[in-house]
Structure 1
Amino acid sequence: MTANTSTANRWLHGFRPVAHPRRTLLCFPYAGAGAALFRDWHRDASPEDEILAVRLPGREHRFGEPCLKTVAEAVPPVLEALTERLGGRLDRPLILFGHSLGAALAYATARALIGRGHPPRLLAVSGRRAPQVPLRRAATQDLSEAEFRDKLHALGGTPPEVLASAELMELMVPLLRADFGMSDRFFEPAPAPLPIPLVAFAGTGDAEVPVEAVAEWERLAGAGFALHPLPGDHFFVNPQRRTILDILLSAA
């Protein structure tokens, strides 16, 4: 592969060069979002902290690629990209963070890293029920087109100009349906505890994923757990960026 088509460049995006990173924060976006979701996070981090965002197919410069159907599909290429990006040095302190769908992706990646003998320093999940908690709403695949669009309006994460544009919605709905389906299908009835610390964030006004569903992640925390309820709805991660980042970097 050339430098421009490498797995690392396809799947990971860094927002600033860091010559000698002391640790890496790997961020996974929520449904419908891309790496750009995390473009400003480095502004509140130390110059020695490297922040990378996962680029999923079906959006941004990968718009023409098929969307993923399962969380498991993302793990091997993310691991390959991470290994390539870190020059094989998976022993560097690594923090995994994901919000909503991204939390499932971060969790699955953490499990894979642990299986390879390279556990991350910390797993941080946000705005998502724990893997063993079943879906307690109608599955996205069972919603009509009108019901799905109503759901997007209610969640509040889709920009109003997108919701108001028939052309943009025609482009975005297949991606959003695919991501919601991938998120809905992720379920592990009896996951083993992780041998790493786990931090969870929940929106106190999140009607989609209440605080008590996020609190269930504690059952997977084999090396310490902290729950941080923060003001906001399901997309509290955006206005609470600085608080979340401070907690992550101080915990690891």
Structure 2
Amino acid sequence: MVIRYGIFLAVLSLLAFACKEEKPPELKKVQPPVVVFNQKHPVLTSEQRAELDFPADILSQVELAAGAEAEPFFETVVVKAENLKGETTVEREQLAGFSVRTRSSVETVDTLSGKLRARGFLIFRSSRNYGNVPDRVTVVKGNSSYDILKRQKTESINFNLDTRAIIAWLKEQQTQGSFVIVGAGPDWVEARFVKQPQNMLAFAKKIYVFAPDTVSVEAGTLEKLARKMTRTNRFFLIWD
């Protein structure tokens, strides 16, 4: 009797184990493939090279220094146009030079600026980027580095400063220490000292009054900004 009862319990245990709900196997989540898009930038065409009529050796020198192909640089110009109501003005893009993308923008500009200016051309940094994104260096015709600001239409709407006002301020500062413009965008200017001001802290204060955002963006304090300008031998004007 005991043996039969033991066999009965064993059979019940097996049946209970067999009736347990089996857990489905865990499926590993398949990560979607990462698609990387290589953005292609427009390369300067043979027609555009002919339209610019820049010396071939200037193009090749800049491309070699930057390690990149030349791209068209367009300037926004205001032209007269006729419509049904009479004469008016419109904005349009005009081919004005060429650009290259490079992570060595400072070295490229500093190395070639003197040679190109002697031949009637200006080279400057036209966009500042961060991280792994290359800067853009541009070449246009011109003799005065202030022409760079005119090409870029540099201004500060928040401070009611147009391009002419910014150029006028820069010219006034040439009495403190001489410099040349080596970069500009819609709301920033970069200059390299030929001769540094004797009192860099006083110059930093002038920058703060004229372009207050420069201090917070570049250094944080006037003292740090003065030291940075002395060390890098250049200064910025920034309006956010």
Give the TM-score of the pair, scaled to structure 2: 0.28
- The structure with the largest alpha-carbon Rg is 2
Which one has a larger percent strand, Structure 1 or Structure 2? Answer: 2
